Amino acid sequence: MIIYYVLTTIIFVVTLPILMLYIKFTNQAQRLTWGYKKYYQCLWIHAASMGEVNGIRQLIARLRRAYPNREIVITTMTKTGRKVARELADAAYLAPLDLFPILLRGFRFLQPAAIIIAETEIWPGMITMAHKKGIPLVFINARISDSSLGSYQKLKPLLAPVFRHVHTVIAQSEKDQQRFISLGFRDVRHTGNLKFSVTQPLYRKEDMRKEMGFAQDDLVVVWGSSRPGEEQLALTTFDALKQRHPRLHLILVPRHLKRLPEIRTILNGHDVTYYSSYKPGAPIVVVDAMGVLQKLYALCDIAVVGGSFFDFGGHNPLEPAFYRCPIIMGPYHSSCRDSVEKLKQGNGIIIANTDTLQDEMQKLLVDSLLRNRIGNNAKNVLEAHASSVDDTTKILQNIIAESL
C-alpha cells in the first residue's frame, strides 16, 4: 500500500487549490480534520449517514455503558448524520478524506483504541494505517450488495492486502458472511442485523393523528424515502384509490429534499400542503423537513417504503415495523435484503411492483384486520431478531480488551 500512500499524497498536493475552494464553498473543513480535538484511546465509530447512525444507536448506548471513562467519537460523511451523532457520542465530526496527509492528522488527533465502521465503507488508507499502527478495525452490521460484490471481485487482486488488514467483519447475515469470506477477509462472523435491535420513540398513534389533524377513521398512507419516479407512481395510485376511499390521505416523504422543486411540479394541480407550513385538510402532505419520518410511520395505516419500486436498492423497512405498520415495498431492495427476507418469512411485508401496487393497497385499505395482522407480524419479526446487538457488543468488547 506504499503506492497508495504515495499516489494519494501526490493527488493531495496537486489538487490542493481546488480542494481548498471545494472545502470553502461546501463548508466541509472537517474533511481536512480542521476543528478536530485531541483524544487518547477513544473508540472511533464511523457511520456514513443518518441511517447508519440510527441503525447503531443501541450499540453505541451499550458501548457507553461498558466504557464510561472512554470517549466515543463518531465520524460521518453527511452533516445530517453528524447532527444525529452529536446526540449519541462525546464528539462527532465529518470523516477525514482518505488521503495520507489528512489521515495522518486524523489519527494523531483521535488516537483510537479501536475503529468501528458501520456497514461497509472500504477506505484503503484508513484500513492500512490502522493496521500499521496496531489498531483493530472492525466492520459491524456489514453487508455486500449484489452490485458491490461484482465490483469487489474484479478489484480483488488489488484490494486483497487491504481486506486482510481488516481485523474482524461482523456481517448482517450468513449470505453476507460468505461473500466477505470469498473476498479474502480473515475473521468473518455474523450476528444478524443491528437494525432489528433499534429502539425508536414510543409515539402513540392516537396522539400523532390528533397532532396532524387526522380523524380516527381517516386512512393515512405514508410513502417514506421516495425516489425519482415514485412520486408520480404514488400520485397515480392515490388518485385511483381516492375515488373509492374519500377519507384517504397521502403523506410523501422524499429521500432528498433538494428534489422538492421537481416534486412540486409533479403535484401541480393537486390539493397539497407542506409539512413546514402544515394546515390540516389537504389530502396530500409533502414533508419538506428532516427527521420526522418515524413520527409519521407511527400514525399511518399503511407504510410504503420507497427507493424500491425503481432500482435504488430500497430503504429500511424496520422503522415502520417498529410501529406495527403494514408495510408495502417494491421489488428492488438489495440494500436491505436480509431485513426484507426475514419480514417475508414472518408474513410481515407485502412485496408489490408498479403494476400490482394499487391492488395490494386496496386489499389493505378495505380490511383493517389484515392491516393489523401484517403489522403485528412485522413487529414480531423485529423482536425475534433483537439479540444481534448483544452478540455484536460481546465480540467488540473482546477485541477492545486486546487493544487496551
Domain boundaries, the chain: 2-193+387-403, 205-384
Most confident by average pLDDT, 119-133, 192-206, 277-291, 316-330: 316-330
Q: Which residues are within 8 A (CB) of 289 and not within 5 positions of it... i.e. 6 or more apart?
A: 257, 275, 276
- Spatial separation of the C-alpha atoms in residues 379 and 276, rounded to whole Å: 30
**Known active-site residue 231:** no
Q: Looking at residues 359-372, what average pLDDT do you find?
A: 98
**150: confidence class by pLDDT, cuts 50, 70, 90:** confident
Q: Looking at residues 382-394, what average pLDDT do you find?
A: 93
Residue 171 pairs with which residues in a beta bridge?
Answer: 142, 190
Contact, 374 vs 344, CB < 8 A? Answer: no
SS3 48: coil
Higher pLDDT, 171 or 13: 171
**134: confidence class by pLDDT, cuts 50, 70, 90:** very high
On the CB side of 61, how many CA atoms lie within 13 Å of its CA?
12
Match domain 2-193+387-403 to its CATH number in 3.30.530.20, 3.20.20.70, 3.40.190.10, 3.40.50.11720.
3.40.50.11720
Q: Which of 52, 119, 319, 360 is catalytic?
A: 52
Q: Are 2-193+387-403 and 205-384 in the same CATH fold? A: yes
Asked if pLDDT for residue 225 goes beyond 70, the answer is yes
What does the pLDDT look like over 324-364, one tens digit per residue?
Answer: 999 999 999 988 888 999 999 999 999 999 999 999 999 99
**275: confidence class by pLDDT, cuts 50, 70, 90:** very high
pTM: 0.84
205-384 has CATH 1.10.287.70 classification: no
DSSP-H helix ranges across 193-229: 205-212
**4: confidence class by pLDDT, cuts 50, 70, 90:** low
What does the pLDDT look like over 64-108, one tens digit per residue?
Answer: 999 999 999 999 999 989 999 999 999 999 999 998 888 999 999
